[in-house]
Structure 1
């Protein structure tokens, strides 16, 4: 029998339990019929025009995204709104949309495990353990490199390991300082600067670092920082989720490589 949207949802719920999601989050099926058959699934970070275009051009029956489309309360999905237009396009094409957000952040393996693996960090424990979850469950990961390397070399390795973006990868710290212990958090992670400092790591890798929190963190003697774009930090999770879906059955799964960071230009670059 052909696999259904419901079959894929069951696999994703097993891998990323919804009870791990933060109370403010909006995860699960956004639109679509769980009983519909599915032969092609597109996995992406952001459910936006570029990824919906890709999914529908390819003929996908399901889009699995990390970020929710309708995170804040809405009172309608008319086509006079950007998000409403996406919902209507998906429904008209008989394509479903499913989102796994902070539940995928806290799950094991989850978003930060994928990021850590990509940049060569062996995971040891969570950065911010989940109150009710076992083992490594929680936001972020703490781990170590196979051997200590100068901070500047580590920043270069991170840049080479992740997909290219216009803003690129930034480092804040002594270029010559040897680093080995690493904290990572996919997505916006400056709310966990204190946890990274308390963990005593040499360097913290995350996205969307803001000027004042980052500067104050460094002034207090916190670990060196590696700043990523939000999309690049979470993109490694897409292949992890794709592998979960491939176990469901005879389903073709594509990981979108379309960069959905909002930044498209940089001074001094074409």
Structure 2
């Protein structure tokens, strides 16, 4: 049995929720349809002719990529232009393209965590926060004999997280009153008579992105025909998500030694370096893609070095004067996501016994040759 496109993307968005993307970004389905069975998924960094040919050869009708094929609004598609030909090939071969970009960068367990792990950065925290979860307080009244069932449903749906503590709730016993009217089908009491029921008030915290999921789980588990519950907006903020990662290394190394770690960890043959190769490195920062403009944030977090791509000449000069060293492994170092995303989706599909194949693209989309 093959998974539907929406199912596959549902798993992808568990890893990298769309709401984590920056406002300027263009993520999500960019071409094709998800209303079909997916025979195969190809995970790629970029989408070009060679990648599309690879998808066709592998029998894949969905490409999940990091970099968009449509970034700015287009006024037309001319099939005698390079991009027009690419769109035409995708459409003719019924291949959908889904993009996960800054949301994958920001996500916990996503791009920047993978890069930090590859470089030996311990307990990496974001270099720059860009998204903070809004929290709501959920209050619901439950008859005593269903208290545990409803509480479990709410907490298992993801509510009740405070910092590193899960399943947080407060429960108070009391009495609820109601009169079932004509047309009702009460779980407790008789129509037209005042009912005084022993109930438990459950209170817990719910992050905004999963409010609907938690409420639906609660309603499904609750025995009442009409469920009494409240959702209160809170000034208290939830978890913060951000770009890049910064943290200590297991032990101090020189910049020169750390360069070798970068080359092996990110699988690149050459890097550009700004700084004294003998400088000791105790705390390192990494940001996938083009993150040089965040060097001041990395300095503020105590980093001795920032690893990121596309560093321009003047930013390199400014960063050096500010006292931080830089390593540029190139933008293509983000290719680490191909295997990681493929493993994530394959694991989810196998868990639910789907026969959809998942492949990490083997096409090298690095546009530069180093001579």
Return the TM-score normalized by structure 2: 0.68
CA contact (8 A) 2:122 2:247 kept: yes
Matches of 2:366 and 2:267, distance apart in 1: 11
Structure with greater proportional strand content = 2
Change (3 A) 1:97 1:71: same
Identify the range of structure 1 (201-210 vs 174-183) with the bigger mean alpha-carbon deviation: 174-183
3-state DSSP class of the match of 1:259?
A: coil
Matches of 1:12 and 1:179, distance apart in 2: 35
Structure 2 counterparts to residues 59-208 of structure 1, below 5 A: 59-133=59-133, 134-135=238-239, 137-164=241-268, 168-208=270-310
Task: Pick one of 331, 352, 355 that aligns with 1:230.
Answer: 331
Kindly indicate whether residue 339 of structure 2 is the aligned counterpart of residue 239 of structure 1.
yes
CA contact (8 A) 1:79 1:88 kept: yes
Kindly indicate whether residue 322 of structure 2 is the aligned counterpart of residue 220 of structure 1.
yes
Deviation at 1:97, TM superposition (A): 0.7
Larger Cα Rg: Structure 1 or Structure 2? 2
Give unmatched runs, 5+ long, in structure 1: none
Q: What's 1:3 paired with?
A: 3
Change (3 A) 1:136 1:251: farther
CA contact (8 A) 1:125 1:136 kept: no
Change (3 A) 1:250 1:106: same
Deviation at 1:186, TM superposition (A): 0.2
Matches of 2:129 and 2:5, distance apart in 1: 31
RMSD (Å) for aligned C-alpha atoms: 1.6
Change (3 A) 1:87 1:211: same
Cα-to-partner distance string for 1:144-167 (whole Å, 9 max, x where unaligned): 2211111101101111222335xx
Identify the range of structure 1 (46-55 vs 256-265) with the bigger mean alpha-carbon deviation: 256-265
Deviation at 1:81, TM superposition (A): 2.4
CA contact (8 A) 1:155 1:170 kept: no
Deviation at 1:184, TM superposition (A): 0.6
Matches of 2:50 and 2:120, distance apart in 1: 30
Matches of 1:190 and 1:216, distance apart in 2: 10
CA contact (8 A) 1:169 1:227 kept: yes
Deviation at 1:87, TM superposition (A): 1.6
Cα-to-partner distance string for 1:230-256 (whole Å, 9 max, x where unaligned): 011x11122221122111233321112
Q: What's 2:178 paired with?
A: none
CA contact (8 A) 1:108 1:136 kept: no
Matches of 1:131 and 1:41, distance apart in 2: 29
Where do 4+ consecutive residues of structure 1 move more than 3 Å? Answer: 133-136
